Amino acid sequence: MSTLLEQAAHWGLNIETPERVGSLDDLATAETADLVVVGLGGAGVSAAMQGLELGLDVVAVDRYEGGGSSAANGGVFYAGGGTAIQREAGVEDTPEEMYKYLKLEVGDVVGDATLRAFCEQSVETVDWLIGHGARFNSKLWKEKTSYPPLDCFLYHPDSSLAAPYAKHARPAARGHRGHTTNGKKAWGLGGAIYDPLRDAALRAGLRFHRHAEATRLAVDARGRVCGVRILQIPEGSAEARRFSRYIANAAKWLAALPPSFPMAALTFAIGRWYLRKAQKLEASHREARWIGARRGVVISAGGFIMNPPMVQHFAPRYASGLPNGTLGDNGSGIVLGASAGGDVGLMNRISAWRFINPPKAWAQGMLINQRGERFVNETLYGASLGDAIVEKQGGKAWILLDARLRADAFRQARDPKIVPFQRDVAILNLLFNAVRAPTLDALAEKVGFDAEVLRDSVDRYNRSARGESDDPFEKRTEEMAPIETGPFYAIDASIDSRLLPMATMTVGGLRVEETSGRVLDASGAPVEGLYAAGRAAIGLCSNIYVSGLSYADCVFSGRRAARHAAGAPQ
């Protein structure tokens, strides 16, 4: 705890040591609630709604407008076991098949009982969301893709279709995309799930304070967390309205271009200018007050991917990736929990996403390392590919194509069904991020591959692609194409690729008791009155991520915390 708190200032965080009081009655509170939620994103709003349904009085605070990455993302929610949406689409699934697949991805980061509970509750969870107004649609996309066409809302968001996984668990489309649109953009769609849930919570009596940063916890004589201090720009004030505008502009410009793209320095500079304006308002207009918590505090303030110094400290290999988050993902919630004795884990674990389909031709080619050696089944989900690249290949990888595959990729990229960002990234990299050479040996010399290793890798691949031998990575013959027609091309797919950014997201955080969501201390004992949910905590997606699993874990873990605080069965 002390190490995190000592480093907090270096990471730009405003977290203080807890206030020690005899009891909640000794705390000079401006208001008190049964449950105080810090960060009203997907996990926070789920905790708030569940708590309200169980009769708790709930207050939520958020430094920004609420929603966080859950509202800003692509709107994918991982669910299965036979949800109403799956049944309507004619998709057969059971909790057991869902469990068997997810066990391969989740590994041991959570216990089997927790994973089974998640799978067995999935149908009810989707019904609960729909009951509160969440919008889904059963139009199905059956093919493998990193993201479905914008008019499809149920798809395979994982590696379940890939042969190494399909032999262990029956594949099923489990990516439930919120039924909404944002023009032709594939982000800002999570509101189809988040917004109705937030509105339902507000109607049920949630007291929500925007522009309120939680900076300090209160701990009573028994060691129980009993309150939160916030710094807030007065609600409804002109300064609050200006702050909201500045933050919206900062978020827009900071997300306008990947850091490595041309003109990104300009867009980032504009974003940082707006951010400084917002921070100046905070420095001069915020007021401090305490909120008491009778039953507990839920920390659901996101991860820390938007805090570059913190990423550099814990996971330097991922520092050159493209941060996938919102401004609230700065690690403050994790440090706040640690300040009260909470233990952290897996802080070095980053989910990095290398999506190469569409265009399908890229996945029919080869992914090779800096030696020119193939190292993975190219049909796996992007987080599995990213993990293999960064964790096992030093962050360096190349997509190898021949002339025919490159022509196929151009044709596929122009398919009107694919999402514009997929099209634009594919064409940009085919034109400007591909090293070209007439022979494999010449390509090896240009890129720095070992020519003998490259020739041997291609020869082995071609034999499997022609059906002459089994692929050591279990890629199906129909998913491969021989690489034999020059010229040959190598597209830089490394984590620091200039034109093919690798999105990254933190998945480590506070350690929690899996039956309750209570934060654990270094000895493994729960910190009474303190819960963590979503990406502020270790959870289901803290090993290998699949699309929508974080959103689903936010809802699962948020509801779990509220049930325990209310004394209800899990």
User: Per the confidence metrics, is the pTM higher than 0.75?
Assistant: yes
pLDDT of residue 164: 96
User: DSSP letters of 497-557?
Assistant: -SSS--EEEE--EE-B-TTT-EEE-TTS-EEEEEEE-GGGB--TTSSS--TTHHHHHHHHH
**Sheet of 488-492, strand order:** 366-368, 398-402, 488-492, 434-437
Residue 175: which residues within 8 A CB-CB, separation 6 or more?
Answer: 76, 77, 78, 148, 154, 155, 156, 157, 158, 547, 548
Element spanning 203, H or E:
helix 191-203
Q: What's the CA gap between 399 and 387, in Å, rounded?
A: 16
Q: Flag residues of the chain having pLDDT under 50.
A: 1
For residue range 48-61, what is the model confidence (pLDDT) as tens digits? 999 999 999 999 99
* CB 15, CB 5: distance < 8 Å: yes
**Lookup: tokens for 264:** 């990104």
pLDDT of residue 414: 95
First-residue to last-residue Cα distance in the chain? 29
Element spanning 201, H or E:
helix 191-203
pLDDT of residue 1: 44
| Cβ count within 10 A of residue 466 | 13
pLDDT of residue 313: 97
pLDDT of residue 260: 74
Q: What's the CA gap between 188 and 334, in Å, rounded?
A: 25
For residue range 298-341, what is the model confidence (pLDDT) as tens digits? 999 999 999 999 999 999 999 999 999 999 999 999 999 999 99
* CB 206, CB 58: distance < 8 Å: yes
Q: What's the CA gap between 303 and 550, in Å, rounded?
A: 11
Domains and CATH numbers, the chain: 2-73+190-233+286-351+503-565 (3.50.50.60), 76-177 (no CATH), 234-239+248-285 (no CATH), 355-492 (3.90.700.10)
State percent of the chain over pLDDT 70. Answer: 100
